[in-house]
């Protein structure tokens, strides 16, 4: 699999050829977010830039931001702006791996608990770390955190 930067770059060039301004705008936002993170990483002493896992995290944050914005716009009666946010989500999600189903999330939690030998709520950080390392961009860690907590408390 080619890296995500290459995929975004290729998609940007194609959008330019197709004169698809809405898609091109979103792809440029993705590139800008990646470059911003690269600059921050250089400031932290990482000259190699960000890897695919970090790019997945960036894309996940972008989707989350747009969902929140779309909800706010809908509540404010600005359906045109909400629709634009939802269209951007569609473009960003093209670069994210397929989201896990509820059953797959449950199985992943069980496997992570077994892998780290978690026995109490004190092990929640290790379980979440294992899940984030393996399933970045495939699950909503905010919702999964509550499920892990319930699993370890029970």
Are 104 and 78 spatial neighbours (Cβ–Cβ below 8 Å)?
no
Q: 126, 118 in Cβ contact below 8 A?
A: yes
CB atoms within 10 A of CB 7: 16
> Which CATH number does 102-153 carry?
1.10.10.410
CATH 1.10.1510.10 domain locations along the chain: 4-93
Range(s) for CATH 1.10.10.410 in the chain? 102-153
Supply the pTM of this predicted model: 0.73
Element (H, E) at 31: helix 21-43
Q: Are 56 and 4 in contact (CB under 8 A)?
A: yes
Radius of gyration from C-alpha coordinates of the chain: 18
pLDDT tens across the length of the chain (154 residues): 358 889 999 999 999 999 999 999 999 999 999 999 988 888 887 777 788 878 888 898 899 899 999 999 999 999 999 999 999 999 999 998 888 888 998 899 999 989 888 888 898 899 998 888 888 778 878 888 889 998 888 6
| Fold exhibited by the domain 4-93 | Hypothetical Protein Yqey; Chain: A; domain1 (1.10.1510)
């Amino acid at each position: 699999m080619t890296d995500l930067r290459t995929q975004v770059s290729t998609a940007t060039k194609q959008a330019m050829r197709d004169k698809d301004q809405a898609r091109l705008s979103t792809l440029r936002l993705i590139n800008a977010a990646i470059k911003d993170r690269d600059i921050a990483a250089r400031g932290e002493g990482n000259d190699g830039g960000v890897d695919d896992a970090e790019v997945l995290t960036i894309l996940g944050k972008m989707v989350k931001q747009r969902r929140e914005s779309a909800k706010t716009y809908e509540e404010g009666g600005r359906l045109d702006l909400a629709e634009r946010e939802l269209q951007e989500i569609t473009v960003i999600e093209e670069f994210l791996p397929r989201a896990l189903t509820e059953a797959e999330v449950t199985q992943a939690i069980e496997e992570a608990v077994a892998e780290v030998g978690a026995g109490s709520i004190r092990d929640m950080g290790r379980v979440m770390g294992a899940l984030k390392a393996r399933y970045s961009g495939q699950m909503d860690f905010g919702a999964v955190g509550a499920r892990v907590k319930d699993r370890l408390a029970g």
